[in-house]
Amino acid sequence: MKISVIGTGYVGLVSGTCFAQMGNSVTCVDIDQKKIDSLTQGIIPIYEPGLEEMVHENYKKGTLKFSTDIQNSIASTAIAFIAVGTPMGEDGSADLQYVLAVAKSIGQHMQAYMVIVDKSTVPVGTAEKVRAMIQSQLDERGSNLVFDVVSNPEFLKEGAAIKDFMHPDRVVIGADSQKAMQVMQDLYAPFMKQHDRFIGMDIKSAEMTKYAANAMLATKISFMNEIANICERVGADINKVRNGIGSDSRIGYSFIYPGCGYGGSCFPKDVQALAKTAKDFGYTPRILDAVEAVNYDQKHVMSQKVFNRFGKNLHGKKFAVWGLAFKPETDDMREASSITIINDLTAQGATIVAYDPKSRDEAEQHYLKGNSSVSYANSKYDAVKDADAVILVTEWQEFRSPDFDELKKWLKNPIFFDGRNQFNKDRMVEMGFEYIQIGV
């Protein structure tokens, strides 16, 4: 099939590349000439395992193209995916200006029947706005072309997006015409040779499914962080509690690890957008509001532990921070807990030496750019030299089995703050560390 994917951010680039991998002819479109130039030169703007190799392979074969020319791309396509950003507004709502701008362009340039797919995460009712915008442009042209708008929310995990797309646990399609539903079934059929995970539904339910899924996962995280905070106060061990409840098949072990709070491009934005939608329709989403409030506070828990140990005056103190990305296997620092922790500590006079395998550029150029108290190391051991303590924030694999003798050699004090509860406390104490974690 001939496919256009408008927007070459995380979702658009991964989706377009994976569709090309299955033999479709895909054009990824973006208004950012610099980004398109970089992509045509093989420079990938994000880190995602396996993506760079797949982009290079399909670009070389000619199944994947990059362009800024939306007019020609739309004129020759059968399916157009809208995969542009939906940034959060000041009131928590999703900003649809870019989605509707693409819809306007589609209405201006389409030449035949098309299926237009909302791939961006959008509030319930967005498909109706997209349809109205396209129709208004067709009316201005005096055109009687017909089209269908479909909702196809993405469920990609950063760090495992290629695997998730090529071997999906479900593909949710919301459509109000059988023709459009069949087009989408045909498109996704190659991804479901072993198991049929295609789930068809009405458009509004599909739009809601994405928000509900992310809100549920965020709820599990905030719930476990709240339980961890209670455990600390009553003298229980959250790690043992987690094992005790995770063995219940109704609960399971996924997303019940205590930590420094969730971040990224999805959970914070989607929880707030869903809460805003609920309020717009006259409903007070008490659980969603609590999930967000708990997460906001949780991002300060680790810095508070540092204050409890070293005091509020941190002038002359240096801390090594292991991990900047909001999760491992990505360079994404959007809403990352590391930003809050580092800013909390440097505001009290501390200096920070940070190390992350992939996020250094993001930190230096964007998220910590104005913080002169932060420097960056080229390895986890370089970061700890003459530091007063280590603070583990992101659970990258290379942090799972460090050389503890090496750590003790370079640290001023063998103090380890574990924001992800990776290690056994008794074992850490046995090795001579003062070990501070969450929920214990």
Catalytic residue positions, numbered: 266
Which residues pair with residue 151 across a beta bridge?
118, 174
What contacts 71, CB < 8 A, 6 or more positions away? 105, 108, 109
Could you give the CA distance from residue 106 to residue 112 in angstroms, rounded to a whole number?
11
What contacts 181, CB < 8 A, 6 or more positions away? 150, 173, 175, 200
The angle that helices 51-61 and 10-21 make with each other, rounded to 10 degrees, is 50
Give the chain's radius of gyration (CA, Å): 24
| 299 contacts 341 by C-beta, under 8 angstroms | yes
The angle that helices 203-234 and 286-298 make with each other, rounded to 10 degrees, is 50
| 17 contacts 50 by C-beta, under 8 angstroms | no
> 227 — phi, psi (to 5°)?
-60, -40
Could you give the CA distance from residue 320 to residue 375 in angstroms, rounded to a whole number?
10
Distances (CA, A) of 291 to 22, 34, 258, 283: 39, 38, 14, 16
Could you give the CA distance from residue 301 to residue 224 in angstroms, rounded to a whole number?
14
Could you give the CA distance from residue 179 to residue 162 in angstroms, rounded to a whole number?
28
Could you give the CA distance from residue 178 to residue 180 in angstroms, rounded to a whole number?
5
Distances (CA, A) of 421 to 29, 195, 415, 432: 42, 36, 14, 17
What single string gives the DSSP state of each residue in 145-210? --EEEEE----PPTTSHHHHHHS-S-EEEE-SSHHHHHHHHHHHGGGGSS---EEEE-HHHHHHHH
DSSP letter at 94?
B
